[in-house]
Homo-oligomer: A and B are copies of this chain.
Amino acid sequence: MNKKHISEENLNFDMSSNVLKFLSEEQKEYIRNIMFSVNFSKGEIIFKQGTPMLHIVFIIGGMAKIYIEDNNNKNIVISLIKPGEIIGGPGFYTDYKHHFSVTALENTTACFIEVAAFKKMILESPEFGLEFIRYRNIRHINFYDKLRVTSHKQMNGRLAHTLLYLSDTVYHSNSFKTTLTRQDLADMSSMTKESAIRVLKSFKESGIIECQNNDFEIKNKTALKNILESG
């Protein structure tokens, strides 16, 4: 993990793609001066559930998974984070703890902004506060969707949900190569690795998807959406 300050180009890119874009020029300059970046290798933990939340983090390269760790080794993958996206968990201005862990899925560069600076921005600029509320609320809405799927859909529907999320939200393509393991797919769908494999196989056999190893192709998205709705 090597720590460094950010080149200005990178920073401008980042600030235009998340909630930071609502800062004034002066504020951006301030943030620019105090933030720092760290490179993580694939598999490294960016931060760990239960530890103090000292920074708001955002990713400027690579990809990471956000997941809740359960007592008995069962994880729930909540979402994947791509370049430009910010991670400001619900610990902000509450207990200042991380309520989930974040791990790099490939080599990933993360930027760190102290929470105190973030709070300062909100106090200086209530418009920014509103935008941050919007960001938090969108996360919350996504979460409602996840709860609905995990409590009332069965395995086919849950895995369909995961595949559609990967295709529509993460990779923006019907065919994609991923670094996610079968265990990760299972953790995204609230089932065991073995079950995920079996459901993938049944999707393959009915011609809905193609997949070998980590290459996926969705052949029939309509069918997948039907499975999500009905099952």
Q: How many of chain A's residues touch chain B, expressed as a range?
A: 35 or more
Which of A99, A119, A136 counts the most chain B CB atoms within 10 A? A136
A156–chain B nearest beta-carbon distance, Å = 15
A124 contacts across to B, CB distance below 8 A? 126
Q: What is the oligomeric copy number?
A: 2
Across the interface, A139 reaches (CB within 8 A) one of B72, B93, B138, B140, namely: B140
The docked-state distance in angstroms from the alpha carbon of A152 to that of B99 is 17
* Cβ contact within 8 Å between A141 and B90: yes
Also in contact, A92 and B190, with CB within 8 A (given A126-B129, A129-B126): no
Contact residues in B for A141 (Cβ distance below 8 Å) = 90-91, 94-95, 99
A134 to B115, CA, bound (A): 14
> Does A205 count as interface, using CB distance less than 8 angstroms?
no
**A168 partner residues in chain B, CB cutoff 8 A:** none
Residues 150-163 of chain A, each 1 if its beta carbon lies under 8 Å from chain B, else 0: 11100000000000
Judge if A70 is at the interface, Cβ distance under 8 Å: yes
B123 touches A119 (CB 8 A): no
Most buried by B among A74, A92, A130: A130
B148 contacts A93, CB within 8 Å?
Answer: no
Tell whether, in the assembled complex, residue A91 and residue B133 are in contact, meaning their CB atoms are under 8 Å apart: no
Q: Give CA–CA (A140, B122) in the complex, Å.
A: 20
Interface residues of A (CB under 8 A from B): 68, 70-72, 74, 76, 90-95, 99-100, 119, 122-127, 129-130, 132-134, 136-141, 143-144, 146-148, 150-152, 190, 229
- The complex places the Cα of A146 from the Cα of B95 at a distance, in Å, of 18
User: Min CB distance, A66 to chain B, in Å?
Assistant: 11
- Pairs across A and B, CB under 8 Å, 17 listed: A71-B229, A76-B148, A90-B140, A93-B137, A94-B138, A99-B144, A119-B130, A122-B126, A122-B133, A123-B127, A126-B126, A126-B129, A129-B129, A133-B133, A139-B140, A143-B143, A143-B147
Given contacts A68-B144, A70-B152, A76-B152, 7 further A-B contacts (CB under 8 A): A90-B141, A92-B137, A122-B133, A133-B133, A136-B140, A143-B147, A152-B190
Give the Cβ gap from A70 to chain B, nearest Cβ, in Å: 5
Partner among B99, B123, B130, B151 whose Cβ is within 8 Å of the Cβ of A123: B130
